[in-house]
Every structure is written in C-alpha cells, then in structure tokens.
Amino acid sequence: MKFVSFSVDSERIHVGLADPIQGVVHDLSDRLPEGADLLHVIEAWSGLEQIDEDLDSLPTFPLDSVRLCAPIPAPQRNIFCVGKNYREHVVEFGRSGYDSPDRSESLPEAPVVFSKATTSVSGPYDKIESHPNVTNELDYEAELGIIIGRGGRGITREEAFDHVWGYTIIDDFTARDLQRTHKQWLLGKSLDTHCPMGPYAVTKDEVPDPEDLRVQSWINGEARQDAHVRDLIFDIPELVSTISAGITLFPGDIIATGTPVGVGIGFDPPKFLQTGDVVEISITGLGTQRNEVQ
C-alpha cells in the first residue's frame, strides 16, 4: 500500500491511500480517529488489512487534484541519516575536500550517522528554498528512507526487518559550505525545506527485497545518480542494529540510508544547484519526487 498525507482545499492534512495506476487517492480520514496522522496508522500496524478491503467505500480524489505533503510531515524527532554509505560516493566526497575534517577517500569502518532537523521536512513536489544568505553551495542527495514501525532498543541484524514498516524517498539536501565550515553536519543538512520526502510511504509488503531497489536522480532532466540499494556499504539490518544499540527507536522514526555517487561536489568543477533547477528522484516502486529550487 502507498500511504500519502495530502490536503485538498485547506491546511488540514488528510491521510490517504494512493493508487497511481488509477490516478486516485482514497481518503482514510473517516476511518481514523479525529486528527489522526500517518503516525497513527504506523503505530496501529496490524489494522491495515481492514482498510484495504473497504477502499471503494472511501471518498476518492483525483491524485493530481490534491497537494501531496511529506508522508510524515512533522516527524517526532530528527531524521536519522547515514553518510558515506556507497563506495564510489565515499571516493567523490573525499576527493572533493568537503569532508572536513576527515578528507579521506578510505571507506568508513562503521556507519557515519548524523541527523536532519524535523523542520527541514517538505513535500515531494514543494519548492526548495535556496537560502542565498546562508549558503552558496547547495547540493542534492537521492536516498532510500526506511520507516520504523515497531520501536525497540538493541535490535539485532536478524530482527531488523521485523521493525521496518515501509519505505519512502528522501532528498538529503546539503549546504556543502556549511557542512565544511562547521565540521559537524547538522547545520548543513537541516535548512528549512531541505528534506523533501515522498510522494508515498510504501508498506514493506510491496518491497519483497529492498536490495533490488534502484535509486536514481536527475537535475533538469540530466541523469546524475543511479545505483541499487544492494551497493550500500552498511546494509539496512546493520543500520537498524547500529542506531538502536543504545538509542530506543520509535514507530515513525525515519532512517535515510545514504546517497550514491553523482552528487554535485563529485564533478570538477562542482555542479551546485541554482535557482530554477529541478531535482527529480525515483526509486523502484516508491514513485518520483520533483522539487524546484527557488
């Protein structure tokens, strides 16, 4: 199932099920408690089958008539992110000189984990703020996002997928100058609107093997990134077990798994994003997000 958060003609955010083949979204609002968001659905994991049976009786809108928000528009806490998790990206990042203070092309020996502020989250088709007074070196990072459904601490590799609810697309927008200058990545990763998410939160039953997922990005139609999740240095079970070793994970937590080779700083000279540029990201079965830099 492809869950969405959407608005119709007001600021109120509805939870729905998208059917991109039919081009419609089924509104689940009447089936959920007043004010419930997608987090409620994620926490009530076992109730999904009942929703699926009754789709025809739900209010339905053309998909192109609604505004899609991030599936989880206001996460309960920062998005967990993983840096340097595809081999060739580690090399391009190290060579660029932006990996301050490390500047190494060698592979990390353990996952590099950081976070993005919740206020960076934006919708899958929203405009991205260029923040010209803060950064001159804006870059994109196409990534698979994991959505945790069952919380826990000390989750083992073998148990990891029992805690995964589903998947989404994340663009880990990065202000490279802030990332380099401040040496710790939070500022450079967390500017407002710099975490477009979605369009869908796809339940894991639709993704039999996440290793097969293909992650692709384009800038103004020019192909930039193209890799499979199986190319991750640290795979999904490793990321879940590493993060949860001493931090309790909650339903609705999101882990961005890292970006493949082909980001702007990988080029010589770097290809930073400019106003008017359009970033598109697709992942197999998870849809396509499209964001213009303004």
In the complex with Mg ion, the residue whose CB is nearer, 83 or 210, is: 83
> Which residue do the tokens 């991205």 mark?
128
Residue 92 binds Mg ion (CB under 5 A): no
Report which residue's Cβ sits closest to Mg ion: 172
Q: Considering the complex, what minimum distance in angstroms separates the CB of residue 155 from Mg ion?
A: 22
Cβ proximity to Mg ion, 2 vs 194, nearer residue = 194
CA count, 13 A, side-chain hemisphere, 225 = 34
Segment lying near Mg ion (by CB under 5 A), choices 7-15, 198-206, 254-262, 274-282: 254-262
Contacts of 32 (CB under 8 A, 6+ apart): 15, 40, 41
Interface pick for Mg ion out of 96, 216, 241, 259 (rule CB under 5 A): 259
# residues contacting Mg ion (CB under 5 A): 3
Which residue type is seen at 281? I
Task: Work out how close the CB of 256 gets to Mg ion at its nearest, in angstroms, rounded to a whole number.
Answer: 6
In the complex, minimum distance from the CB of residue 47 to Mg ion, in angstroms, rounded to a whole number: 33
Task: Look up residue 16 and give its two tokens.
Answer: 């729905």
To the nearest whole angstrom, how small is the minimum distance from the Cβ of residue 68 to Mg ion? Answer: 22
CA distances in angstroms from 19 to 2, 16, 76, 121, 197, listed in the order given: 7, 10, 27, 23, 18
Judged by beta carbon, residue 126 or residue 143, the one nearer Mg ion is 143
| Residue closer to Mg ion (CB basis): 99 or 172 | 172
Closer residue to Mg ion, CB minimum distance, 149 or 260: 260
Measure the CA dihedral 135/88/230/112, to 10°. Answer: -50
Neighbours of 271 (CB within 10 A): 18
CB of 117 vs Mg ion, minimal distance in Å: 14
Q: What binding mask, one character per residue, do residues 172-211 give for Mg ion by CB under 5 A, x or -? A: x---------------------------------------
**Residues in region 116-175 near Mg ion by CB under 5 A:** 141, 172
Query: Nearer to Mg ion by C-beta: 14 or 89?
Result: 89
CB of 9 to Mg ion, least distance (A): 35
Nearer to Mg ion, 17 or 239 (CB): 239
Binding residues (CB under 5 A) for Mg ion: these are: 141, 172, 259
